[in-house]
Amino acid sequence: MPNFPWEEQFMSSVASFSEAGMAEAESSALLREYIRLSHITPLPPILDFENHPKLLDGSPFLEPDEKIYDLMNAIFRPLLSKFRLEGAENFAKVIPYLGTTGVTIVENHLSLFDATVTSLLLEWQPDFYEYARKIFFVTGRLVFTSDFTRVAGRAFRTMLVASPRDMAENESIRRELTRLNLRSYKEVKERQKKGEPLVLYPEGTRSRSGEMLPFHGALYSYLDGTVVLPVAVEGPEKILHSNSFRFGFTEGAMRLGEPVYVGAAASAPAGIRNLEIERFPKETRKQDVMDYFGRQVASMLPAAMRGHYASA
């Protein structure tokens, strides 16, 4: 079986695990297992449009592979040992609304492994474990067409979508991608009502510079009628740089802001601040609301990382 081009650089990550206190033999074994799984983990059948066209009528939701989840937990526990979770009380505030309005977490996007960082930092809090394991991520299908990220994508609960870039670059399957997105959105809203927190990356792609990109107004419908928890992460981009396949060991933080209900004041749950959507002009409302949350996320980041929302 031929090696992937990234394998040698990936194995050089052993030095970072040693810095984090893990024995070289243990970290080497974990990295080699990730590589082995990268060779054998298949494309999710629903994305194999050519060979499984009828599966497009099925669910675009993927449950985690528990063995892969355990592997990612073992890999990231040392790498995240210098990360802080700040504002945990704000996650506690949204728990009562998981099964009523539903909860949407909006977060800046820095790394291919942001979902891993978000999930594990919450799951490692004993009071949050039960709820954090119900989190699911809206994830671009390109994650699963990459031999490097396909394994990581199977570690957590995932709703598959096609990104705008994906749609633009794959005109020949645009019809299939459109059907995928329609089914995904419908099921997202159903799952939120059942008490499953959604994590959304409204920039649509990870920032290669570390600076925030604008939030997409088209994603407003995911937030509408839900309690929204803004989250800012700092550090995942140093665990894995955008131009590298080598893990790093660094300090970092995940900061949870004040939850806000998006919708009419009459529908706002008690104890949660309401963002009255009527105050925004109808013609710009979707973008205005997304920019509001972009500024909320940016306000929890160092000034140099605020990018598009530098005035936050």
- Could you tell me if 206 and 112 are in contact, meaning their C-beta atoms sit under 8 angstroms apart? yes
**pLDDT tens digit sequence for 65-74:** 999 999 999 9
Q: Could you tell me whether strands 273-276 and 260-263 are parallel, antiparallel, or unpaired per DSSP bridges?
A: parallel
Pull the structure tokens for residue 112: 């291919």
How many residues can be counted in the chain?
Answer: 312
Share of the chain above pLDDT 90, in %: 79
State the pTM of this model.
0.94
Q: Collapsing DSSP states into helix, strand and coil, what is residue 2?
A: coil
What's the pLDDT score for residue 164?
79
H helices of 80-173, in order, are 88-94, 114-123, 129-132, 142-145, 150-153, 164-169
What lies within 8 Å, CB to CB, of 32 at 6+ separation is 11
The CATH fold of domain 7-309: Glycerol-3-phosphate (1)-acyltransferase (3.40.1130)
**pLDDT tens digit sequence for 97-153:** 999 999 999 999 999 999 999 999 999 999 999 999 999 999 998 899 899 999 999
Per the prediction, the chain carries an average pLDDT of 93
- Could you tell me if 234 and 301 are in contact, meaning their C-beta atoms sit under 8 angstroms apart? yes
Q: Where are the domains of the chain?
A: 7-309
